[in-house]
Amino acid sequence: MRTYMDYVLRCFYESTGWNEDNIYPNITLTSQSLLDFKVPNGFGLNLSSQSSPNSASTYNLTNLGFVSGSVAYLYSSKPLCNIQSTKSMDLKDVVTGYKLLTPLRETESRLYWNQWHGAARNQKRDTLYYGRMYLPGRGLEAMLVRRLSPTTQLLITCVSDSHLKNGGTLTMHYQRDVGQWCNELIYSTNEALLGVRGMFNFGYHRKLREYYNASRLSIGGELYYGVLNKSPGLSIAARYVANSAYTGTPLTLTLTCNPLVGHLSTAYSLMASNSTQLSSRFDFNVYSYMSDLSIGCEIWKNKYTVGSQSGPSDTAPEIVDIKSPEFAVKRESRLSSRQSSSFTMSNGTCVPEEEFTNVLKASTSFGSRNVKLLWEGRYKELLLSSGVMVNLVDGTPVISTIGVEVQYSC
Amino acid sequence: MALSLSEDTRERVSKLLDVSRVAVHYGWIPFILYLGWTQSLPRPNLIKLLSPFPTA
């Protein structure tokens, strides 16, 4: 489950028009969410609130045999009015799962980027500041996100702790997203690392005309070089997203390759229904011939559908006209609609949105011989996340991780 | 021509960097709180800004 501050950061990206799906590190997000999800360890409690439209705070308490915690504060120069409390937030906004990609759109013109107050020009260079201090260790995590232009963004992250080498690490990302392609320049003080990432979307101009066409092919790569340790790094990846020709269900295929270590990975993820998503991944190393097969699924449970207050019925879901005012109100209330659970059809109708109350995730890996189970859901005004990871070494099941996490925000 | 620094200058620069690092480490969160208090409209209550508890 995403933390409250991750959720706020996504709201910032959304309100400033930044497309997270179009950057290279997120190319395998769907399969990672379904297969590599994190199981909570021990007991964790998160209390968060938005004290003003521009600022938010979080207190975190964790018990892993010893009690530790953190305090986090955030300030955004742009008022974030799309943040919901845990009572009303859409579960799909805080639980990572099958990622329905944001449609590609044309970048905003510099003309509209400027805001005029009388004769004074004020550019919308929105900035987000974030800081988190761990207690009792007093380690600091800091982040600064600044929009520089309609297509560029500067992201600076920092970890400062006296126990780390050189007192910590500072990493700078200069990101440029023009829709058809996105590139990123990286510098990190850790080993003076220099890096470049890029991703290209094929058929971009055709996609802008054909909104109903959900297929998209993206190819990207990254190149790193550590100046101090003289160590290079390289990876390339491709992602194909489409709807099945027969059933119309969304599917995602990814291929990643790291030529230096000889690692190949292919993943196939499928949104079988609005509440069921499946994924499988095959990893293979061409030098050692080691391989691994991972499979995972997630099953969402809904409370009711729009227009029917009773529980989930066996009858066919009601079709809602997207031009109706009721749908517009519902749609407006869900400002974080990028992972919307609805499917908009080309004929102007929409399969109804569902309010999900909980999700059950399961994944297993034949190579590492473990099984992960995770349940995430809402109880009254709390978001709960509980899970277990079982290792099957020598045929004996051993619980390696078990935990519960509670989130509350107002 | 390579720039050569004396031993004293190197020590001063190193000390200055250490002091700046400590200042940023302990000053970053108060700086965020200062921005949140002065730049937000309407200006929030200071206790509400510091604490995430709903009763505050």
The answer, yes or no, to whether residue A267 has pLDDT greater than 70, is yes
Give the pLDDT score at B46: 85
Tally the residues of chain B.
Answer: 56
d(CA A46, CA B52): 10
CB B52 within 8 A of CB A59: yes
Confidence band of A395 (pLDDT split at 50, 70, 90):
confident
User: Distance from B11 to chain A by nearest Cα, in Å?
Assistant: 16
Give the pLDDT score at A211: 63
Give the pLDDT score at A66: 85
Give the pLDDT score at A119: 62
Contact residues, chain A, for B32 at CB < 8 Å: 55, 73-75, 129-131
d(CA A48, CA A300): 25
Residue of chain A whose Cα is closest to the Cα of B42: A52
User: Distance from B36 to chain A by nearest Cα, in Å?
Assistant: 6
| A53, A168, A410 ranked by CB distance to B40: nearest | A53
Q: Which of A84-88, A219-223, A305-309 has the highest mean pLDDT?
A: A219-223
User: Distance from A202 to chain B by nearest Cα, in Å?
Assistant: 41
Confidence band of A105 (pLDDT split at 50, 70, 90):
confident
**Which is higher by pLDDT, A347 or A239?**
A239
Q: B54 vs A57: CB contact, 8 Å cut-off?
A: no
Give the pLDDT score at B48: 84
Residue B46 touches partner A, C-beta closer than 8 Å = no
Contact residues, chain B, for A59 at CB < 8 Å: 51-52
The answer, yes or no, to whether residue A122 has pLDDT greater than 80, is no
Give the pLDDT score at A101: 84
Contact residues, chain A, for B50 at CB < 8 Å: 57
DSSP-assigned beta bridge partners for residue A181: A200
Give the pLDDT score at A212: 64
The answer, yes or no, to whether residue A223 has pLDDT greater than 90, is yes
Residue boundaries of the structural domains of chain A? 4-409
| B39, B45, B52 ranked by CB distance to A48: nearest | B52
Residue of chain A whose Cα is closest to the Cα of B44: A52
Confidence band of A283 (pLDDT split at 50, 70, 90):
very high
Give DSSP secondary structure letters for A86-108: TTTS-HHHHS--S-PPPPP-PPP
Phi-psi region of A23 (alpha: psi -120 to 50; beta: other; left: phi over 0): beta
The answer, yes or no, to whether residue A225 has pLDDT greater than 90, is yes
Residues within 8 A of A (CB atoms), B 13-42 only: 21, 24-25, 28-29, 31-33, 35-36, 39-42
Residue B54 touches partner A, C-beta closer than 8 Å = yes
Q: Which of A378, A237, A299, A245 is nearest to A98 (CA)?
A: A299
| A49, A131, A410 ranked by CB distance to B29: nearest | A131
Q: Which fold has domain A4-409?
A: Porin (2.40.160)
Give DSSP secondary structure letters for chain B: ------HHHHHHHHHHHHHHHHHHHHHHHHHHHHHHHHHSSSPPPHHHHH---TT-
